[in-house]
Structure 1
């Protein structure tokens, strides 16, 4: 069959992988809360600023945060989102949102929060995340760097993960491995489409000014 791989590269971050392993082994316990932010400040290209061509910041950039929520917390049950253009109304052709806040409810009853803006610090693209599970709280600087605090049982020192892994290259290497071995990629197109569906639902939530059941 055809091997596909969607470019959700943060799934391959070393710190993200380590937390996913702790969740799947139940050492972390069930996830209860995830927050993720995406901050930047740039006009980008003309097509990016045009909602009819890019879909908006959630579709074109922040979708990576939504995918991480799914990767760590599982299937979503509902979403509520608000998106506004507050700072670029005087920029010709700028029809996408520049600030957004979204709450995702998961089938597990966990909650996720994604917040984003294109009016933060010029020249910086910030994405970081926090995860609270039953036995662990994780503070991510990015997909490769995090501190895990174990919160159950006897006191333990924090686990610090710091890596220079090229997670973009890992996406390609995983795809090549799947082709050569006949195995599965980490994010085949049917899996990546679920994150696209979640973002689409967030946009529809904003348009309808209400929660969308999934």
Structure 2
């Protein structure tokens, strides 16, 4: 079973077609381990072969976080491999910033798990702000609305602009008096950013939401 799975996936990559031209073949497979057991042989054989894994989460789907891809268990071996392309075609430092945001999501999840045991009073204000930043990143960048004409797809230029703004907002040094103030701020910020995601490019609505986001951020920094 192991060799057959590897044989299938190893067909992906750069190939030469029958007419001699060069093309690429991307293969996407699905594995549904019984009971969510990732240790069973077929799943392990698949994970040891592929270079990219998107793990779906029933918990995220239950929360209506779509697409329900769990960043905490998903991974890609292409990020560093394609770093030179990102540096040239997206912008310098792109991969480093992506890695920082992935780390933020993991840190935020750890704090969230702690709060489920101790309550909010069991974490510091700084940790609480970090968890709010991670939730904000998840809500406005990792989630999309497939039923909205604008948000259903994200061209590269929009991804770059949106990610740059999110990165700048989560790296600000905020001055909150307490956890409730932090929660209120990120709730308002998330609402404005979701509306921004729905706004058509170059529209007056988009410009207005960008202005409101900047004004809100500056009011607490």
Both structures adopt the same fold (TM-score exceeding 0.5): no
Tell which structure's C-alpha radius of gyration is larger: 2
User: RCO (CA 8 Å, sep 6+): is it higher in 1 or 2?
Assistant: 1
For this structure pair, what is the TM-score category when the shorter chain's length is used for normalisation? under 0.3
Name the structure where helix makes up a greater proportion of residues: 2
Structure with more of its chain in strand, by fraction: 1
Length-normalised TM-score, structure 2: 0.23
